Amino acid sequence: MRIIFAGTPDFSAAVLDALIASEHDVVAVYTQPDRRAGRGKKMLPPPVKVVAEQAGIPVHQPLSLREENEQNTLREYAADAMIVVAYGLLLPQAVLDIPPHGCLNIHASLLPRWRGAAPIERAIEAGDTETGITMMRMDAGLDTGDMMWVERCHIDANTTGDSLREELLEVAIRGTFNTLSEIAAGSASYTPQSEEGANYASKLSKAEAAIDWSASNSVIDLKVRAFNSSNVCYSLHDNGERIKIWRGRPVSQSHHLSPGSILAADDNGIVVACGEGAYAIEQLQVPGGKALSCRDILNARRDWFSSDRHFTMETSA
């Protein structure tokens, strides 16, 4: 089949790479404009653009697809279908109507559970025990189109945002090929979504990555795992430094200290008082450094984590 692909981040780029290597013909790629990123604020291309250019596929980076000339350009590719995954740009109805087999969205949730921009992180943060990939024929709503294919994935106490993304990527690629095969065979089915149980997975903000130590240790653990590594959690130390917290675990430890107080620190973890129980930080990152185990951090900065020190409760970004 002739395919137009629309996507932006690494997850999308991996799906595009699989499509390029398949029997399908990717005739054009749409992605977000280059953005400034990193410490030097250099203009960097989206991962999808890099993959497309390496394969010699035409790349388009419009700010909008509402302009008639952009729609005419897309129409000229005469694609059978458009595959969309984490594109970041709304498709108007005029675009949805162009491919004969529609615009097919790869969505990382068991719709309608998490519609919106950050379904992977929100599923872990909410304590969901499962998620998955839904292949959907897009309509004008936000992730409300008819479902074509669904596969489930388990979420357990060790699942992080990164580990779940890796697992879901394999499912997404499998779902894409299965759906395209069904379309080609004329056996594709379309199941309308229920509105019951629908939630909005809002885009992550830097401010919400700040840890509120007055929360329970289980709530803190869910957030740390969910935001690893798309929006790594952090906390302000009493010395004013912002410390990123990459990994940890809840521990059952009673205490009478205020949330954020450091209860103990050894090679197994830096234990911090929570509103309920405590949380042992296992991997963290100090300003100017890289993510390290608590053992390595303590070797260099043990005085930061003595029992008379604490993390502040400030939550502003």
Domains of the chain, residue spans: 2-201, 207-305
The position carrying tokens 């795992």 is 225
pTM over 0.85: yes
Tokens standing for residue 150: 């669904």
Q: 67: which residues sit within 8 A by CB, 6+ positions away?
A: none
Tokens standing for residue 95: 């675009």
Report the C-alpha gap between 119 and 132 in whole angstroms.
10
Q: Where are the alpha helices (DSSP H) in the chain?
A: 10-20, 47-54, 68-76, 93-96, 119-125, 161-185, 217-226, 294-301
Residue 310 has pLDDT above 80, yes or no: yes
User: Is 111 in a helix, a strand, or coil?
Assistant: coil
Determine contact, residues 28/60, Cβ cutoff 8 Å.
Answer: yes
Query: pLDDT, tens digit, for every residue of 109-159?
Result: 999 999 999 999 999 999 999 999 999 999 999 999 999 999 999 999 999
Domain 207-305 indexed as CATH 3.40.50.300: no
Do 2-201 and 207-305 agree at the fold level?
no
Enter the DSSP assignment of 306: S
Determine contact, residues 64/83, Cβ cutoff 8 Å.
Answer: no
Domain 2-201 indexed as CATH 3.40.50.170: yes
Average pLDDT over residues 269-277: 97
User: Is 288 in a helix, a strand, or coil?
Assistant: coil
Report the C-alpha gap between 280 and 262 in whole angstroms.
10
Query: pLDDT, tens digit, for every residue of 59-73?
Result: 999 999 999 999 999
The position carrying tokens 């019951």 is 196
Determine contact, residues 13/50, Cβ cutoff 8 Å.
Answer: yes
